[in-house]
Amino acid sequence: MFSKACEYGIKAMIYIASQSLKGQRVKVTDMVNEAGVPEAFTGKILSSLAQKGLLESLKGPYGGYFINEEKGKSIKLINIVSAIDGNGLFENCALGLKQCNAKDPCPMHHKFVKVREELKQALENANLFELAKNLEAGTAVLNY
């Protein structure tokens, strides 16, 4: 459903949020084993997310990525998905057709509209720090 970049970005952001709750900064190499994400690709994704203001980054031996608590409480998964994949998932045709709308629907249009709205609501209601707390509580995992 999401691009690989988006999947890696979401996993990395949840991991960074979990470490940020403990006051720790995260290097990309730390996430390779912990969150099961590829190093170089994830570094590019995180750099882009930092440029878009979704996380902070410090260079140097004590540097790394982190999310301040106030910002982390306001970040929803929809923000991460939109920053990486854009809004195509919520706007484009399920079958990839250029001309698809309520007036001229593709065969999947009416079924996909409902699924798309439910997914959008779920992503809008998923708070990054709440997901990170689930990870820390052991009620969720990232690496599989």
- CB contact at 8 A, 67 and 128: yes
Structural domain of 48: 4-137
Residue 90 lies in a domain: yes
Residue 127: per-residue pLDDT: 94
Low-confidence winner among 36-40, 131-135, 136-140 (lowest mean pLDDT): 36-40
Report percent pLDDT > 90 for the chain: 60
| Lookup result for tokens 């878009």 | 52
Asked if the model's pLDDT at residue 82 lies above 90, the reply is yes
99's torsion region: left (phi>0), alpha (psi -120 to 50) or beta?
beta
Please report the pLDDT score of residue 33 as a whole number.
75
Q: Is the pLDDT of residue 118 over 90?
A: yes
Q: Does some domain include residue 143?
A: no
Number of other residues whose CB lies within 10 A of the CB of residue 45: 25
- Residue 144 pLDDT more than 60? no
79 φψ region: left (φ > 0), alpha (ψ -120 to 50), beta (else): alpha
What is this structure's pTM?
0.89
144 within a domain of the structure (yes/no) = no
Residue 131: which CATH number?
1.10.10.10
Residue 74 lies in a domain: yes
In a domain, 50, yes or no: yes
In a domain, 104, yes or no: yes
